Amino acid sequence: MRSTARELNWSGTVTYSARRVERPRSIDEAAEIVARESRVHGLGTRHSFNDVADAPGVLLDLSDVPTDLVVDTAAGTATMGAGTRYGVVAPELDRAGVALHNTGSLPHISLGGAIATGTHGSGTALGSLSTAVRAFELLGPDGSRRTLRRGDPDFDGAVLHLGLLGVVTRVEVDVERTYRMRQDSYGPLPWDVYVANVAAVHASAYSVCAYTVFGDEVGEVLLKSRVPDGAGDVPVPDDLVGAPRLPGRPADGHHTARDGSVGPWWDRLPHFPIDTVPSHGSEVQSEHFVPLRLAAPALDAVRTMAARIQPHLHVCELRTMAADPFWLSPTQGEDLLCIAFTWQKHPEAVAALLPDLEGLLAPFDGRPHWGKMSSLDAETVERLWPRLPDFRRLVAAADPQRKFASALGERVLRT
């Protein structure tokens, strides 16, 4: 299938410049498209707020390619089509007796797109979704397939690839024995108390998320606690550094249960239910990563802009993630705090704020999420990602004619 009309991203704030979008129904069909076109770029579920997935020519949407899930419990792996959405495959994995280590807050994104951009969940001991990748298959400029595996030379440079090395068609990820979870709500927490205990707060459960609008408090902290398969429940604290445990609320059409009830991992790790796609079009997003050891001063710096931030903000979510070795990862080898802004749909106002916001985070080596709004230029990106020259070498070897080049890649990464 193909579409020739100009298409938009998830929020309707980015218009893709490609002349058409192709939606093949098999990998062979995708390979034929790649081989015959002069410019091709992979397109995920469009949950990006910049031109990371935009390019002239053809955008390739693999969401119609069958999942073809293969679970190997002995090896601890699951292999599936890269266009598969987490919310579609997660219950299937659970029925097979296995689970993923983490998911993003939104389960309706594809594995291929999430992995390519370094998308993450939360958990100080948990790596991004890219860290689960054991191998992946991609189409080269001539449409031929090749597979990269963990342990191969340059694998750490290729996993988080922004679509610049080819079109990824299948992904093999680590899985583990299935488990259940509960989600509990705590708050409010005075700002100073949260900032003074930020590392401890985020280490208090398997996955922890905190919400603020940069006023006098952090309004809510969600603790997602892992319940081993076969166990009835696990104990949780009655308070979190003085903040009481709240009654929370059961699941509804907008949020997963945060009332302490126990349910499947795939229905507690995300914030949104897998069977209902959240309403879209009312927001734009930016995410900014700082080393966890610098979280307190970085948060206080951002809060000095509260009067300018608040008129445009829905909410800011504070999350943590573990270090990883990937060349284009925001972690750069150490645990991080992610300051994730969900802005109102005021793209011009947010774009005007970002230079000052990112300037405040510069002393803390603040790095942006590759799929979100950012004002950082090529020179700053070069300084923040010291392995970028090595990544350019990978791109030059894999795609010498730049068939897979993207707008963001050319403008910011200079690939």
**How many whole angstroms separate alpha carbon 282 and alpha carbon 49?**
12
pLDDT of residue 332: 81
Burial 199-224 (b: 16+ CB within 10 A, else e): bebbebbbbbbbbbebeebbebbbbb
Complete DSSP assignment for 176-211: EE-EEEEEEEE--EEHHHHHHTHHHHHTSSSEEEEE
Look up the CATH architecture of domain 70-177.
Answer: 2-Layer Sandwich (3.30)
DSSP conformational letter for 238: S
**351 burial class (0-12, 13-18, 19+ CB within 10 angstroms)?**
middle
> What are the backbone angles phi and psi of residue 88, rounded to the nearest 5°?
-80, -45
**Tokens at 3, concatenated:** 């579409």
Predicted TM-score of the model (pTM): 0.96
Fold that domain 179-267 belongs to in CATH: Alpha-Beta Plaits (3.30.70)
In this model, does residue 278 exceed pLDDT 70?
Answer: no
Q: Over the stretch 111-129, which tens digit does the pLDDT of each residue have?
A: 999 999 999 999 999 999 9
**How many whole angstroms separate alpha carbon 19 and alpha carbon 141?**
19
The closest alpha carbon to 52, from 379, 381, 359, 387, belongs to: 381
**Tokens at 104, concatenated:** 């993003």
Q: Over the stretch 330-388, which tens digit does the pLDDT of each residue have?
A: 998 999 999 999 999 999 999 999 999 999 999 999 999 999 999 999 999 999 999 99
In this structure, how many other beta carbons lie within 10 angstroms of the beta carbon of residue 286?
A: 24
The closest alpha carbon to 70, from 62, 81, 86, belongs to: 81
pLDDT of residue 229: 76
Question: So where are the chain's domains?
Answer: 70-177, 179-267
CA distances from 29 to 90, 131, 405 (A): 26, 29, 21
**315 burial class (0-12, 13-18, 19+ CB within 10 angstroms)?**
middle
- Could you tell me whether strands 58-61 and 40-43 are parallel, antiparallel, or unpaired per DSSP bridges? parallel
**How many whole angstroms separate alpha carbon 288 and alpha carbon 290?**
7
Among the ranges given (94-98, 125-129, 280-284, 305-309), the one the predictor scored with the smallest mean pLDDT: 280-284
Q: Over the stretch 24-59, which tens digit does the pLDDT of each residue have?
A: 999 999 999 999 999 999 999 999 999 999 999 999
pLDDT of residue 274: 87
In this model, does residue 147 exceed pLDDT 80?
Answer: yes
Helix, strand or coil, per DSSP, at residue 306: helix
**How many whole angstroms separate alpha carbon 316 and alpha carbon 308?**
14
Q: Over the stretch 226-269, which tens digit does the pLDDT of each residue have?
A: 998 788 899 999 999 999 999 999 998 889 999 999 999 999 99
Complete DSSP assignment for 125-142: T---GGGGEEEEEEE-TT
How much is the average pLDDT of 286-290?
Answer: 98
In this structure, how many other beta carbons lie within 10 angstroms of the beta carbon of residue 297?
A: 13
